[in-house]
Amino acid sequence: MTEVEKLIPHRPPFLFVDEIVSHEGETLTARRTWRADEDFYKGHYPGAPITPGVLLCESVFQTGAILMARLFAGQGGGGVPLLAKVGDVRFRNPVYPGETTLIEVKRKETLGGFHMMSGSIKSGDKRVLTVEFAVAWKAPEGQVTTA
């Protein structure tokens, strides 16, 4: 089990963070290599594959969940990240199969149990996207699991 898998509940094929690069205070940076053999490239788009923007956003949200898990480590009670709000998403450049991206998230403030965050992705020296989002960290209550 990887360090990422120890911190968040996401698993392949819906895990879009490969490793943690750095963590300082309220900021965490992670890395993801978008592999050409991933199934979604077969349909997005045949003959001209491009990484879906929604999956790029998901990699930011998962990186935010990793940051929250680290910030809450040792506080007991467990918890899972719940995406509460997404806003001001800006896509600047596409990501193609084989590219490695750096994902950075920052917790800006906490209000009433909601953690306001900003995130960005870069591929090399080009900015891929920016997004503002909010996460709630909740202990699972009455959740039925099948796995």
Would you put residue 25 in left (φ > 0), alpha (ψ -120 to 50) or beta? left
- What is the reported pLDDT for 76? 59
Q: CB neighbours (10 Å) of residue 118? A: 17
Give the whole-angstrom CA distance, residue 85 versus residue 98: 30
The pLDDT tens digits for 36-72 are 999 999 999 999 999 999 999 999 999 999 999 999 8
CATH number of the 3-138 domain: 3.10.129.10
Residues 10, 23, 44, 115: which is the catalytic one? 44
CA distances from 43 to 37, 47, 49, 88, 92 (A): 12, 9, 8, 27, 22
Is 115 an annotated catalytic residue? no
- Residues in Cβ contact with 86 at an 8 Å cutoff, skipping those fewer than 6 apart: 57, 131, 132, 133
Pair of tokens at residue 76? 């007991």
The pLDDT tens digits for 71-129 are 988 665 567 889 999 999 999 999 999 999 999 999 999 999 899 999 999 999 999 99
Please give the single-letter amino acid code of residue 87. G
Residue 48 dihedral angles phi and psi, to the nearest 5°? -150, 65
% of the chain surpassing 70 pLDDT: 91
Give 141's pLDDT tier (boundaries 50, 70, 90).
low
Q: CB neighbours (10 Å) of residue 131? A: 22
- What is the reported pLDDT for 26? 97
> Contact 87/25 with Cβ under 8 angstroms?
no
Task: Sketch the domain layout of the chain as residue ranges.
Answer: 3-138
- pTM of the prediction? 0.92
Nearest to 38 by CA among 105, 99, 103, 80: 99
